[in-house]
Structures are given as C-alpha cells and as structure tokens.
C-alpha cells in the first residue's frame, strides 16, 4: 500500500450496509431487509450474482469470511449470536452470550468475536465451540474489533462516544500487555481518532483503521506508526461504517452510510485500489 487509495468502482446504493466481506471470487454485502439481506457480487465485474436470506438477522453488525472452510460469518447483537453461512446460503447459528461487536478469522481458521461491553475477545471454532476467552487490559474501553497476527499478538481498536481515549493497540497474545499503540485523546488530528471501529491487516502486518466520524481510513506500520490517510473524507458521502481488505487483489472495500440525524437511511460500498 504505497499510495493513496484510488476509487475503481462503487456498488449500487441501497439500504444501510451492516456487513462487508469477500470470499473466493465474490463480494458479500449485508443490508437490513426482510429477505435477500446478503447481496453477492462478482469480484471482477461487480455484477450482482444472487441474494441470500438470513432469518432473524435484525441487529446484524458485522461480517467476515473464512477462505479455508468457505464460510461467511455474521454477528447479530440483538440475539448475542453468530450466524454461519455456506456459499449456498445454508445457515447455522450459535450463541456468544455477550453482545458481539467485531468479527475476524485467525490463522487457525477460528472466529474471533470482540465483545465491547465486557472487554473480551472470544475465540470459536468453525462449528461454534468456544475455545478461548481473553480479557483485555482495563484501559482498553469498548474494544470494537480485533485481528490476531501470526505471532499471536492482537491488533485491537477501541473507544466509544463516551470514552476519552480512542486508540489502536497491539496487545500481547495473553492479553496482559499493550505492546504498541496509536491514538489517545479523541480528535481529528493525524494522531487522533473519533471512534476507530474496524480494522484490516495486510500480509506484511500494516494496519488499516476505519475512523468512523473522521470519515477516513488511516494506514499504520506494523509497530503502529502513522504512515498516511489511505481514504479521506472527500471520497465518502457519510459515516465510514465498514472496512474489508482483499489482499490478493489489492482492493479495499469501504462502506459509508448516510446519517439523517436519527438513523442511517442509505448506504453504499466504494472499492479502492491500494
């Protein structure tokens, strides 16, 4: 990621985007609808291929995928659960027993669920078995998303509207120590964030951060040093609500939703070359 991201395509605008990921040669976009909630697009032509329905998915708040098992995972905060979809649309569900926030898949092909209210990362097998719970340091308030590196350490972003500190941290594999961090007091300067909500990490462990209310994507080094803004606010229409990096094709998918003052009304996905 040597340059600022360049827009290569924008998917059709529609209902607000609740989740965003890719799997094999397809892009998955989750929207709040009665049916056909998951729109599946071709990754090259961006043509809509099909739609999948996920029953009782109201309150969905994130989505990720696993290339190894060819599953898509959706977190639903209203039911405190995870839905697992296969590529044909068959659905399995399991309980998290805490409100899920962010989702990711680690090198062992297990699902990491970040639970912001209890400051935990929960690791589940692809079948929904709870394998591990990690409690984060006390000053990591409202962790939104977590990605586990090949070293075992975690990249975690945290900070809600009510919190003074908004940061991205590298946390040791046992959850006890903050190894590196970027951010601090909430703000709009290059060293600050205003709700860092979603993360992506490339093959060289450079970190992309979705800074929601600053409407930008920040690129950090593997030691969390500031490099540049990859996506700036002038490329977006609304709040930056989702982030997905396709490392193989060097495509960054960014979802922004239009806030009306009461709720999100519409949303779209902008595709950047990085």
Instruction: Mark 1-35 as b/e (b = at least 16 C-beta within 10 Å).
Output: beeebeeeeebeeebbbbbbbbbeebbbbbbebee
Residue 1's pLDDT is what?
58
Q: How confident is the model at residue 263 (pLDDT cuts 50, 70, 90)?
A: confident
β pairing state of 165-171 and 178-185 = antiparallel
Asked whether residue 234 is domain-assigned, the answer is: yes
Question: Cα separation of 102 and 136, whole Å?
Answer: 14
The runs of H, that is alpha helices, within 168-241 are none
Question: Cα separation of 259 and 199, whole Å?
Answer: 22
Query: CB-based contacts of 22: which residues, under 8 Å, 6+ apart?
Result: 28, 43, 65, 244, 246, 253
Average pLDDT over residues 120-146: 97
Residue 114's pLDDT is what?
98
Asked whether residue 63 is domain-assigned, the answer is: yes
Q: How many domains does the chain have?
A: 1
Look up the pTM and report it: 0.95
pLDDT value at 77 more than 70: yes
In 3D space, the residue among 268, 104, 135, 60 whose CA is nearest the CA of residue 199 turns out to be 104
Question: Cα separation of 204 and 207, whole Å?
Answer: 9
Q: Burial, 259: exposed, middle or buried (Cβ in 10 Å; 0-12, 13-18, 19+)?
A: middle
Asked whether residue 26 is domain-assigned, the answer is: yes
Asked whether residue 229 is domain-assigned, the answer is: yes
Asked whether residue 225 is domain-assigned, the answer is: yes
Asked whether residue 33 is domain-assigned, the answer is: yes
Query: CB-based contacts of 45: which residues, under 8 Å, 6+ apart?
Result: none
Mean pLDDT of the chain: 95
Q: How confident is the model at residue 66 (pLDDT cuts 50, 70, 90)?
A: very high
Percentage with pLDDT > 90 across the chain? 91
Residue 16's pLDDT is what?
95
> 186-189: long-range contacts (C-beta < 8 A, 24 or more apart)?
186/159, 188/214
Helix (H, G, I), strand (E, B) or coil at 233: helix
Question: Cα separation of 221 and 107, whole Å?
Answer: 20
pLDDT value at 241 more than 80: yes
Q: Residue 130: which CATH number?
A: 2.120.10.30
Question: Cα separation of 201 and 94, whole Å?
Answer: 27
CB atoms within 10 A of CB 270: 20
Provide the residue range defining the domain that includes 217.
Answer: 6-273
Query: CB-based contacts of 17: which residues, under 8 Å, 6+ apart?
Result: 29, 30, 31, 241, 242, 255, 256, 257, 267, 268, 269
Instruction: Choose the weakest-confidence range: 18-32, 182-196, 257-271.
Output: 257-271
Percentage with pLDDT > 70 across the chain? 99
pLDDT value at 3 more than 70: no
Asked whether residue 1 is domain-assigned, the answer is: no
Asked whether residue 70 is domain-assigned, the answer is: yes
Query: CB-based contacts of 2: which residues, under 8 Å, 6+ apart?
Result: none
Helices (H) and strands (E) in the chain, counts: 0, 24
pLDDT tens-digit map of 97-125: 999 999 999 999 999 999 999 999 999 99
CB atoms within 10 A of CB 153: 20
HSE (side-chain half, CA atoms, 13 Å) at 120 = 15
Q: How confident is the model at residue 41 (pLDDT cuts 50, 70, 90)?
A: very high
In 3D space, the residue among 171, 164, 167, 185 whose CA is nearest the CA of residue 112 turns out to be 171
Residue 2's pLDDT is what?
53
């Amino acid at each position: 990621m040597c340059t600022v991201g360049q827009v290569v395509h924008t998917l059709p605008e529609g209902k607000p985007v609740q989740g965003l990921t890719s799997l094999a040669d397809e892009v998955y976009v989750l929207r709040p609808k009665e049916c056909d909630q998951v729109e599946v697009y071709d990754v090259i032509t961006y043509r809509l291929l099909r739609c999948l329905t996920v029953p009782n998915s109201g309150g969905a708040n994130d989505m990720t995928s696993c290339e190894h098992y060819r599953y898509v995972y959706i977190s639903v905060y209203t039911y405190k659960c995870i839905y697992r979809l296969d590529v044909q649309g068959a659905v399995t569900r399991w309980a998290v027993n805490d409100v899920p926030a962010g989702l990711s898949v680690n090198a062992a092909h297990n699902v990491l669920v970040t639970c912001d209210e209890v400051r935990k990362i929960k690791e589940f097998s692809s079948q929904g078995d709870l394998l591990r719970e990690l409690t984060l340091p006390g000053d990591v308030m409202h962790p939104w998303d977590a990605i586990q590196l090949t070293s075992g350490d975690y990249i975690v972003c945290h900070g809600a509207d009510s919190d003074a500190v908004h940061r991205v941290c590298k946390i040791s594999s046992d959850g006890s120590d903050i190894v590196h961090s970027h951010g601090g007091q909430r703000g709009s300067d290059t060293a600050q964030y205003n709700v860092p909500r979603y993360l992506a990490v490339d093959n060289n462990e450079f970190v992309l951060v979705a800074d929601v209310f600053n409407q930008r994507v920040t690129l950090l080094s593997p030691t969390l040093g500031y490099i540049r803004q990859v996506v700036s606010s002038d490329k977006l229409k609304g709040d930056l609500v989702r982030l997905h990096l396709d490392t193989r094709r060097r495509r960054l998918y960014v979802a922004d939703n239009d806030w009306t003052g009461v709720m999100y009304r519409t949303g779209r996905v902008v595709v950047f070359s990085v």
